[in-house]
Amino acid sequence: MAHILIVDDDLSLREVLEIALKKKGHTVWTAPDSVTALAILHRESIDLVLLDLRLGQESGLDVLQRIHETWAELPVLMVTAYADAQSAITAMKYGAKDYISKPFELDDLLYTVERTLETARLKAENSWLKDQIGQRYDEIIGSSPQMREVFDLVRRIAPTTINVLLTGESGTGKELFARAIHQASQRSAYPFLAINCGGLPENLIESELFGFRKGAFTGADRTKKGLLEIAAGGTLFLDEVGELSPVTQVKLLRFIQERSFIPLGSTEALHTDVRIIAATNRNVEQCMREGSFREDLYYRLSGVKVHLPPLRDRENDITLLAKHFLHKACRAQKRSLQGFTADALTKLRTYHYPGNVRELENIIERAVALEPGQSITAASLIIYEQLPGSELECGLEKVLSGQTTLDEYIALHEEKILREAMRRCNGHKGKAAEMVGLNFRQFRYRLTKAGEKDEED
């Protein structure tokens, strides 16, 4: 709900409007004169002003002009018993959004208030989104070189019919990208359906994908359409596709090749046109070498492969994403926080985000709920660090399951250590080298190998 300021020298009218607006869920401030009104505006975050044209000996138009000069985007509704064409024109010139004449019907005024607030909200959102142009694709935000490359690739492939394989760690936004590709394609008027291939047992995956006929198996007391049939003309998103069983892989491959499939319990093939977007956080190439994922299916799925970088490799995007999630969480929780303190931003930028973008969003949501002040502080950024040893165990599991190679895992953690040493030494390579037990040349070589620009201290 909105924060509304009523400026009127009529006490009884102020009280009537205050009661009516509070019943609508708004937070209301009242002021009998310009001095009180301007003091409230400087102190509070106001969304709309109801302003009388005459405030005793003062002119409401003078107050309107001062409001417009300082808070140009703040909507103001003029309320007066002295309506005339010239004052209305002057009020609009000074930035008033509407002009309400006394006496008025209370319901009409409340309707005008809600309509003005909605217009202002949409304008603010559109302005905020325009600020992000060049930094976002659909709902995915980023200004780093890695993300700009991804955006460019997605823009080029979205209008085509080619299948897409999205790779990257959990929490990097693979389903968001899949939906964005669908919305930017010629299939956007048709269904977008998603299924998590790792969340269901093999028999349920098959029935969900291909459907079944009544009597196909025990308990099949009705005929059920599969997702491939329901998504006709649209897009099917296969999340965690690397978890599919060999049998289901064969059936999926046949569908991609022939654009037809046979529901369980049927002998009749159904033909359908569906674009496949698949995603995985596993190292599919390693799975193919091990024989757990079919090479021919991989090449059918990866018409174009799009890799989504982890958040720890996109340090420049952290602030941008944090502000986006703050805006989103404030709307959801009906709060009006102004931003982040310097120490909060430092804490956000220096965290490694094993849960990637999804974890950052959760951190911001918690902070909005917990923050008692007007800006997010470091104390409100509650980060649930992994328990000692759990990160190592997670890394071991990724290496042993083929999600990453040993060299990749070692290189990643070496880079983390080098960058942390640089941070603690304020960018001084000599001191950082000494901290980690290397000489200067060794440290500089490893840092350059990790992608850090080589600059002499």
Torsion angle of the four alpha carbons 14, 19, 25, 30, in this order, in degrees rounded to the nearest 10: 20
Listed as own residue / partner, the contacts of 35-42 with beta carbons closer than 8 Å and 24 or more positions apart are 37/5, 37/7, 37/63, 38/63, 38/66, 38/67, 40/5, 41/5, 41/67, 41/70, 41/71, 41/74
Asked if 120 and 160 touch (Cβ cutoff 8 Å), the reply is: no
> What element of type H or E holds 4?
strand 3-7
The model carries a pTM of 0.56
Distance CA 122, CA 142 (A): 23
Distance CA 110, CA 180 (A): 38
Which pLDDT value is given to residue 134?
44
What's the alpha-carbon Rg for the chain, to the nearest Å?
Answer: 29
161-307 maps to which CATH number?
3.40.50.300
Distance CA 147, CA 136 (A): 9
Asked if 322 and 346 touch (Cβ cutoff 8 Å), the reply is: no
Orientation of helix 356-370 relative to helix 315-333, angle to 10°:
50
Evaluate whether 161-307 and 311-380 have a shared fold.
no
Mean per-residue pLDDT pooled into runs of 10, the chain (457 residues): 88 92 92 91 88 82 85 84 61 75 85 86 56 51 86 90 93 91 91 88 86 84 90 94 91 93 89 95 88 93 93 89 91 88 90 90 92 90 62 61 71 78 79 79 78 50
Q: How far is CA 64 from each of CA 4, 39, 68, 407, rounded to the nearest angstrom?
A: 15, 14, 6, 66
Residues 6+ apart with CB under 8 A from 285: none
Q: Domain 3-130: what homologous superfamily?
A: Response regulator (3.40.50.2300)
Buried b (16+ CB within 10 A) or exposed e, 42-79: eeeebbbbbbbbbbeeeebbebbbebbeeeeebbbbbb
The CATH number of domain 311-380, selected from 3.50.50.60, 1.10.8.60, 1.20.120.1200, 1.10.10.10: 1.10.8.60
Phi, psi of 303 (to 5 degrees): -55, -45
Domain boundaries, the chain: 3-130, 161-307, 311-380, 405-449
CB atoms within 10 A of CB 444: 20
Buried b (16+ CB within 10 A) or exposed e, 217-252: eeeeeeebebbbbebeebbbbbbbbbbbeeebbebb
CB atoms within 10 A of CB 172: 24
Q: Which of 97, 69, 99 is nearest to 83 (CA)?
A: 99
